[in-house]
Structure formats: structure tokens, C-alpha cells
Amino acid sequence: MSWSYCERWNKKLAEPITLLTETEARARHARGELYTVFSVGEGGTISLAM
């Protein structure tokens, strides 16, 4: 499973808002800033970690 990163998740449209690279997400994590991690699996199933 591969993970992607974004600033926020749009719940209404079920899509990411402003994609982040892994490096940008790691920097946010180090600074204690919020970001969203998501994965789209088989059949279009979306897994979120906020």
C-alpha cells in the first residue's frame, strides 16, 4: 500500500486539498503541524490518517 500526503482532506468532495511531498509531510511532522495521510486501495477504498 502506498501513502500520499496533503494539507487537508475535503470530506464533501472526498479528495485531497493541496498535495504534499513526503519531504514536506515529514517537515510538518517535525514542526508539529497538521497534515493528512491517505491511501487509495483496491476498488477505490480510501484510508485516512489525520
pLDDT > 70: percent of the chain: 96
* CA distances, 45 to each of 10, 11, 29 (Å): 15, 14, 25
Q: How many CB atoms lie within 10 A of CB 7?
A: 16
**Domain boundaries, given as residue ranges, for the chain:** 4-49
Per-residue pLDDT at 47? 84
More confident call, 19 vs 40: 19
* CB neighbours of residue 10 within 10 Å: 11
